[in-house]
Amino acid sequence: MSLDRQRSTMLSTRLLNKTTGLDPSARAMAEENEMSDLYKQQAAERAAEDITSGMRLGIGTGSTAEFFVHALSKRVNAGLDVVGVPTSERTRKLASELGIPLTTLEETPHLDLTVDGADELDGRLSLIKGGGGALLREKIVAAASDQMVVVADGSKQVQTLGQFPLPIEVVPFGLGATENAIATVFADLDLPKSLELRGGTAQPFLTDGGHYILDARLESIGNVHSLADRLDAIPGVVEHGLFLDLATKAYVAGADGVKTILPN
Protein backbone atom coordinates (compact mmCIF):
# COMPACT_ATOMS: atom_id res chain seq x y z
CA MET A 1 0.00 0.00 0.00
CA SER A 2 1.38 3.44 -0.94
CA LEU A 3 2.22 5.99 1.77
CA ASP A 4 -0.52 8.34 0.53
CA ARG A 5 -3.07 5.50 0.63
CA GLN A 6 -2.01 4.54 4.16
CA ARG A 7 -2.45 8.15 5.25
CA SER A 8 -5.87 8.36 3.60
CA THR A 9 -7.04 5.20 5.37
CA MET A 10 -5.90 6.41 8.79
CA LEU A 11 -7.38 9.86 8.29
CA SER A 12 -10.71 8.44 7.09
CA THR A 13 -10.91 6.28 10.23
CA ARG A 14 -10.26 9.34 12.39
CA LEU A 15 -12.98 11.25 10.54
CA LEU A 16 -15.53 8.48 11.17
CA ASN A 17 -14.72 8.46 14.87
CA LYS A 18 -15.13 12.22 15.18
CA THR A 19 -18.48 12.49 13.37
CA THR A 20 -20.30 9.45 14.76
CA GLY A 21 -23.44 10.47 16.67
CA LEU A 22 -23.99 13.90 15.07
CA ASP A 23 -27.28 14.80 13.37
CA PRO A 24 -27.16 14.67 9.52
CA SER A 25 -26.68 18.41 8.85
CA ALA A 26 -24.10 18.85 11.60
CA ARG A 27 -22.35 15.69 10.50
CA ALA A 28 -22.15 16.88 6.88
CA MET A 29 -20.63 20.19 7.94
CA ALA A 30 -18.23 18.51 10.35
CA GLU A 31 -17.16 16.02 7.70
CA GLU A 32 -16.47 18.79 5.17
CA ASN A 33 -14.38 20.77 7.65
CA GLU A 34 -12.60 17.69 8.90
CA MET A 35 -11.77 16.45 5.40
CA SER A 36 -10.33 19.85 4.53
CA ASP A 37 -8.11 19.66 7.61
CA LEU A 38 -7.08 16.12 6.79
CA TYR A 39 -6.03 17.11 3.28
CA LYS A 40 -4.12 20.11 4.63
CA GLN A 41 -2.31 17.79 7.01
CA GLN A 42 -1.42 15.39 4.21
CA ALA A 43 0.03 18.17 2.06
CA ALA A 44 1.98 19.62 4.98
CA GLU A 45 3.42 16.26 5.96
CA ARG A 46 4.51 15.66 2.37
CA ALA A 47 6.37 18.98 2.36
CA ALA A 48 8.05 18.13 5.65
CA GLU A 49 9.52 15.03 4.01
CA ASP A 50 11.50 17.29 1.64
CA ILE A 51 13.39 19.00 4.45
CA THR A 52 17.01 17.95 4.95
CA SER A 53 19.52 18.77 7.68
CA GLY A 54 21.30 22.08 7.26
CA MET A 55 18.36 23.85 5.63
CA ARG A 56 17.45 27.42 6.49
CA LEU A 57 13.67 27.57 6.31
CA GLY A 58 10.92 30.12 6.04
CA ILE A 59 7.94 28.92 8.04
CA GLY A 60 4.54 30.15 6.92
CA THR A 61 1.39 31.23 8.72
CA GLY A 62 -2.13 29.83 8.69
CA SER A 63 -3.97 26.58 9.30
CA THR A 64 -2.08 24.53 6.71
CA ALA A 65 1.28 25.98 7.72
CA GLU A 66 0.56 24.98 11.31
CA PHE A 67 0.26 21.37 10.21
CA PHE A 68 3.69 21.78 8.62
CA VAL A 69 5.10 23.17 11.87
CA HIS A 70 3.85 20.12 13.75
CA ALA A 71 5.24 17.74 11.12
CA LEU A 72 8.57 19.56 11.08
CA SER A 73 8.83 19.49 14.86
CA LYS A 74 8.56 15.70 14.86
CA ARG A 75 11.52 15.48 12.50
CA VAL A 76 13.49 18.04 14.52
CA ASN A 77 12.87 16.09 17.72
CA ALA A 78 14.14 13.01 15.86
CA GLY A 79 17.42 14.76 15.05
CA LEU A 80 16.83 16.91 11.95
CA ASP A 81 19.12 19.95 12.09
CA VAL A 82 17.38 23.02 10.67
CA VAL A 83 16.71 26.63 11.56
CA GLY A 84 13.60 28.59 10.66
CA VAL A 85 12.35 32.14 10.19
CA PRO A 86 8.69 32.43 11.22
CA THR A 87 6.40 34.69 9.19
CA SER A 88 4.25 35.82 12.12
CA GLU A 89 4.22 36.05 15.89
CA ARG A 90 1.64 33.25 15.89
CA THR A 91 4.00 30.94 14.00
CA ARG A 92 6.96 32.01 16.10
CA LYS A 93 5.11 31.07 19.28
CA LEU A 94 4.01 27.66 17.99
CA ALA A 95 7.40 26.75 16.51
CA SER A 96 9.18 27.79 19.69
CA GLU A 97 6.81 25.74 21.85
CA LEU A 98 7.44 22.69 19.65
CA GLY A 99 11.22 23.00 19.86
CA ILE A 100 12.06 24.20 16.36
CA PRO A 101 15.23 26.37 16.37
CA LEU A 102 14.44 29.87 15.12
CA THR A 103 16.40 32.73 13.64
CA THR A 104 15.69 36.06 11.96
CA LEU A 105 16.36 37.53 8.53
CA GLU A 106 18.88 39.85 10.19
CA GLU A 107 20.87 36.84 11.39
CA THR A 108 20.08 34.62 8.38
CA PRO A 109 19.19 36.84 5.41
CA HIS A 110 19.23 34.07 2.81
CA LEU A 111 16.96 31.03 3.09
CA ASP A 112 16.90 27.75 1.21
CA LEU A 113 13.19 27.08 1.27
CA THR A 114 9.91 28.54 2.49
CA VAL A 115 6.88 26.34 3.12
CA ASP A 116 3.56 28.16 3.36
CA GLY A 117 -0.12 27.78 2.59
CA ALA A 118 -2.26 29.73 0.12
CA ASP A 119 -5.82 30.99 -0.05
CA GLU A 120 -5.85 30.44 -3.83
CA LEU A 121 -3.38 29.11 -6.38
CA ASP A 122 -3.66 28.82 -10.15
CA GLY A 123 -1.82 26.74 -12.74
CA ARG A 124 1.12 29.13 -12.86
CA LEU A 125 1.40 28.93 -9.06
CA SER A 126 0.35 32.54 -8.78
CA LEU A 127 -1.18 32.90 -5.35
CA ILE A 128 -3.54 34.91 -3.23
CA LYS A 129 -2.32 34.92 0.36
CA GLY A 130 -3.00 36.95 3.45
CA GLY A 131 -6.20 35.48 4.80
CA GLY A 132 -4.42 35.09 8.12
CA GLY A 133 -3.15 38.67 8.04
CA ALA A 134 0.59 37.90 7.71
CA LEU A 135 1.07 38.72 4.00
CA LEU A 136 3.84 41.31 4.44
CA ARG A 137 6.13 39.08 6.45
CA GLU A 138 5.17 36.07 4.33
CA LYS A 139 6.22 37.85 1.15
CA ILE A 140 9.46 39.16 2.66
CA VAL A 141 10.43 35.66 3.79
CA ALA A 142 9.39 34.03 0.50
CA ALA A 143 11.41 36.57 -1.50
CA ALA A 144 14.48 35.80 0.64
CA SER A 145 14.22 32.07 -0.20
CA ASP A 146 15.64 30.08 -3.10
CA GLN A 147 12.40 28.10 -3.33
CA MET A 148 8.84 28.36 -2.08
CA VAL A 149 6.70 25.26 -1.60
CA VAL A 150 2.96 25.77 -1.21
CA VAL A 151 0.87 23.31 0.79
CA ALA A 152 -2.90 23.29 0.32
CA ASP A 153 -6.03 21.20 0.01
CA GLY A 154 -7.67 20.87 -3.39
CA SER A 155 -10.31 23.52 -2.73
CA LYS A 156 -7.61 26.20 -3.04
CA GLN A 157 -6.90 25.36 -6.70
CA VAL A 158 -8.59 27.72 -9.17
CA GLN A 159 -8.47 28.56 -12.86
CA THR A 160 -8.40 32.31 -12.22
CA LEU A 161 -7.50 34.13 -9.03
CA GLY A 162 -10.04 36.41 -7.39
CA GLN A 163 -12.84 34.46 -5.74
CA PHE A 164 -11.02 34.71 -2.43
CA PRO A 165 -10.94 38.36 -1.28
CA LEU A 166 -7.57 39.94 -2.05
CA PRO A 167 -5.94 41.31 1.13
CA ILE A 168 -4.28 44.70 0.76
CA GLU A 169 -2.18 45.82 3.72
CA VAL A 170 -2.30 49.59 4.21
CA VAL A 171 -0.96 52.29 6.51
CA PRO A 172 -3.66 53.59 8.89
CA PHE A 173 -2.68 57.21 8.18
CA GLY A 174 -4.53 58.57 5.17
CA LEU A 175 -6.78 55.54 4.90
CA GLY A 176 -9.49 57.38 2.95
CA ALA A 177 -7.04 58.63 0.34
CA THR A 178 -5.54 55.16 -0.01
CA GLU A 179 -8.99 53.62 -0.46
CA ASN A 180 -9.76 56.16 -3.21
CA ALA A 181 -6.49 55.37 -4.99
CA ILE A 182 -7.21 51.63 -4.85
CA ALA A 183 -10.76 52.18 -6.15
CA THR A 184 -9.33 54.13 -9.10
CA VAL A 185 -7.05 51.21 -9.95
CA PHE A 186 -9.98 48.81 -9.82
CA ALA A 187 -12.04 51.05 -12.11
CA ASP A 188 -9.18 51.32 -14.62
CA LEU A 189 -8.87 47.52 -14.71
CA ASP A 190 -12.64 46.90 -14.85
CA LEU A 191 -12.67 45.25 -11.45
CA PRO A 192 -15.43 45.57 -8.81
CA LYS A 193 -15.01 48.47 -6.37
CA SER A 194 -15.56 46.32 -3.33
CA LEU A 195 -13.32 47.11 -0.36
CA GLU A 196 -13.92 46.13 3.25
CA LEU A 197 -11.80 47.14 6.23
CA ARG A 198 -11.00 43.89 8.02
CA GLY A 199 -12.46 43.95 11.51
CA GLY A 200 -14.64 46.99 10.77
CA THR A 201 -14.12 50.66 11.58
CA ALA A 202 -14.84 50.26 15.30
CA GLN A 203 -12.05 47.73 15.87
CA PRO A 204 -9.90 47.23 12.76
CA PHE A 205 -7.70 44.16 12.52
CA LEU A 206 -4.04 45.06 13.10
CA THR A 207 -1.20 43.14 11.47
CA ASP A 208 2.01 42.28 13.32
CA GLY A 209 3.42 45.43 11.72
CA GLY A 210 0.61 47.64 13.03
CA HIS A 211 -1.15 48.06 9.68
CA TYR A 212 -4.75 47.67 8.51
CA ILE A 213 -5.99 45.24 5.87
CA LEU A 214 -8.50 46.06 3.16
CA ASP A 215 -10.15 42.98 1.65
CA ALA A 216 -11.10 43.37 -2.03
CA ARG A 217 -13.80 41.08 -3.45
CA LEU A 218 -12.75 41.07 -7.08
CA GLU A 219 -14.42 37.83 -8.28
CA SER A 220 -11.95 37.27 -11.15
CA ILE A 221 -8.61 38.98 -11.79
CA GLY A 222 -7.83 38.97 -15.51
CA ASN A 223 -4.32 40.41 -15.37
CA VAL A 224 -2.70 39.76 -12.01
CA HIS A 225 0.60 41.40 -12.95
CA SER A 226 -1.05 44.66 -13.99
CA LEU A 227 -3.02 44.78 -10.77
CA ALA A 228 0.05 44.00 -8.68
CA ASP A 229 2.07 46.74 -10.39
CA ARG A 230 -0.67 49.33 -9.92
CA LEU A 231 -1.16 48.49 -6.25
CA ASP A 232 2.60 48.61 -5.65
CA ALA A 233 2.60 52.21 -6.91
CA ILE A 234 0.12 53.50 -4.30
CA PRO A 235 2.02 55.18 -1.42
CA GLY A 236 -0.39 54.03 1.31
CA VAL A 237 -0.27 50.38 0.25
CA VAL A 238 2.32 48.47 2.27
CA GLU A 239 1.81 45.14 0.47
CA HIS A 240 -0.86 43.04 -1.23
CA GLY A 241 -1.72 39.37 -1.28
CA LEU A 242 -0.75 38.63 -4.90
CA PHE A 243 2.29 36.35 -4.71
CA LEU A 244 3.60 36.18 -8.26
CA ASP A 245 6.65 34.30 -9.54
CA LEU A 246 7.56 33.17 -6.03
CA ALA A 247 6.17 29.64 -5.64
CA THR A 248 8.28 26.92 -7.26
CA LYS A 249 6.20 23.88 -6.30
CA ALA A 250 2.93 22.99 -4.61
CA TYR A 251 1.68 19.94 -2.80
CA VAL A 252 -2.10 19.81 -3.13
CA ALA A 253 -4.02 17.09 -1.30
CA GLY A 254 -7.44 15.66 -2.07
CA ALA A 255 -9.37 12.42 -2.26
CA ASP A 256 -6.79 10.99 -4.70
CA GLY A 257 -3.84 11.73 -2.43
CA VAL A 258 -1.17 14.41 -2.63
CA LYS A 259 -0.36 15.83 -6.07
CA THR A 260 2.84 17.67 -6.93
CA ILE A 261 2.19 20.76 -9.03
CA LEU A 262 4.85 22.75 -10.88
CA PRO A 263 4.20 26.12 -12.54
CA ASN A 264 3.04 25.73 -16.15
Residues noted as catalytic: 138
Q: How far apart are CA 252 and CA 262, in angstroms?
A: 11
Strand order in the sheet with 237-240: 195-197, 212-216, 166-170, 237-240
- From 144, 143, 147, select the one nearest 263 (Cα to Cα): 147
The number of angstroms, rounded, from the C-alpha of 9 to the middle of its chain's C-alpha atoms is: 26
Residue 132, classed as helix, strand or coil, is: coil
Residues contacting residue 95 through CB under 8 Å, at least 6 positions apart: 59, 69, 73, 84, 86, 102
Paired with 250 in beta bridges are 150, 261
CA dihedral sign of residues 238, 152, 262, 162: negative
Selection from 53, 115, 119, 52 nearest residue 85 by Cα: 115
| Whole-Å CA distances, 262 to 46, 122, 250 | 15, 10, 7
Bridging pattern class, strands 83-86 and 56-59: parallel
- Spatial distance between the Cα atoms of 202 and 191, rounded to a whole number of angstroms: 27
